[in-house]
Chains A and B, each alone.
Chain A
Amino acid sequence: MPLSPTTPKPESPLPPEKTIAAWRILLRGAGAFFVLYVFCVWAAKGYNRGWTQNQVPVKHIDPITEIEFIKYEKRFVPGLDVLAAGVTSGLLIFSVTFLGRRCPPNRA
């Protein structure tokens, strides 16, 4: 027998299906991508396990006196501080997606 429009729907015996909001998926992707990007940049720039440098010392030798001297070249070499900051930022973006309600409140 068909139900009339005024008849209330019967309660479904199954729990509501769990879904993730699109913005959470996007932010998780962005966070993971950011961590990967920072790591790749750090690795590509020479795996500098020291402090970040924005001027790189280059050694030269004076041929007559044999004095080793340094000249600085303008070049950015990210260090562990940049890597740590990048990874922390990416993880923060990722973890933001776990805050708040995980299911839409009014599922039809």
Chain B
Amino acid sequence: MSPKPSLNYRYIIPNLDHAMNQILRTIAFAGFTIVSAVATPNTYDFKDPKGVNAIQFTLDSILEPIVGNANAVEGKVTFDPADVAATKGALEVASSSLKVPNDKMTEHLLSADWIDAAKHQDISFEFSKLDSVRTISEGKWSAIAAGKFTLKGVSKEVLVPVTLNHLAGAYGKRLNKPELHGDLLVVRGVFTILRSEFGIQPGKNEDKVAPAIQLTFALVGSAPGA
């Protein structure tokens, strides 16, 4: 009795492997697209566990620019990499955390004449969407955040050019705990305000301290479990 010849489908359908690969790729792509379309945006907490977040301020003055920072940053931003324009959130920094390298100057800065940190405890920025979103590279965008900036109890609408950098899966790596899952969102930006518009010594000492204050920020928000 002669052995039954086995069927080799490779001869029947010569490109079976290729066809299977195509089918699997199509399914994977469709799955990814569906997941992306229905993915809910994540909320990123900007109270950084490593204490890196800070807002730097620079005022030109007679001898040299006065440069300081404020590092008690808190706030939450909702971000979805599939819909960057819908990013929204609110960030605030404690006025009392403003600091310059000279203690006397810091004391002066926090006094009622300048920031009045005792009365106005927070400096905040709230925005509900991003405009002019442009992709710089994969996971990196530039945009304009239009929102309400509040300083010394005065709120003004401002436009803040920002760059966003989405670091998927970097949360645990940053904390040296690779077992933790989560994403990071890095937001950077620079904008300028006039101190007179916020009731900070309006029209006074402008020959000694410039009327414009430049604010620079580089903040990281964490979304554990994202």
> Could you tell me which A residues sit within 8 Å of B by CB distance?
49-57, 62, 64-70, 72, 79-81
Considering the complex, give the chain B residue whose CB is closest to the CB of A48.
B64
B153-193 vs A, CB cutoff 8 Å, 1 = contact: the mask equals: 00000000000010100100110000000001010000000
Stretch at the interface among B33-41, B83-91, B96-104, B109-117: B96-104
Q: Judge whether B167 and A53 touch: CB under 8 Å.
A: no
What A residues does B53 contact at CB under 8 A?
Answer: 67, 69
A70 touching B64 in the complex, CB below 8 Å, given contacts A52-B102, A54-B101, A55-B103:
no
Q: Judge whether B218 and A68 touch: CB under 8 Å.
A: yes
A64 interface neighbour in B54, B71, B173, Cβ under 8 Å:
B173
CA distance A66 to B170 in the complex (A): 12
Q: Judge whether B99 and A69 touch: CB under 8 Å.
A: no
What B residues does A64 contact at CB under 8 A?
Answer: 167, 170, 173-174, 184
A67 touching B218 in the complex, CB below 8 Å, given contacts A54-B103, A72-B99, A72-B101:
yes
A67 interface neighbour in B69, B101, B103, B186, Cβ under 8 Å:
B186
Q: How many residues of B contact A (CB 8 A)?
A: 27
Once A and B bind, how many residue pairs between them come within 8 Å at the CB atom?
64
Q: Judge whether A65 and B101 touch: CB under 8 Å.
A: no
B residues 50-101 near A (Cβ < 8 Å) are 50-54, 56, 63-64, 66-67, 69, 71, 99, 101
B105 interface residue per 8 A CB criterion:
yes
B220 interface residue per 8 A CB criterion:
yes
Q: Judge whether B220 and A50 touch: CB under 8 Å.
A: no
B residues 123-163 near A (Cβ < 8 Å) are none
The minimal Cβ–Cβ distance linking B133 to chain A, given in whole angstroms, is 21
Q: Judge whether B102 and A54 touch: CB under 8 Å.
A: yes
The minimal Cβ–Cβ distance linking B29 to chain A, given in whole angstroms, is 30
The minimal Cβ–Cβ distance linking A61 to chain B, given in whole angstroms, is 9
What A residues does B102 contact at CB under 8 A?
Answer: 51-55
New contact pairs (18) apart from A53-B101, A55-B101, A70-B56, CB-CB < 8 Å: A49-B63, A51-B63, A51-B105, A52-B102, A54-B101, A54-B103, A55-B99, A55-B103, A56-B101, A62-B174, A64-B173, A64-B174, A65-B174, A69-B53, A69-B71, A72-B101, A79-B63, A80-B63
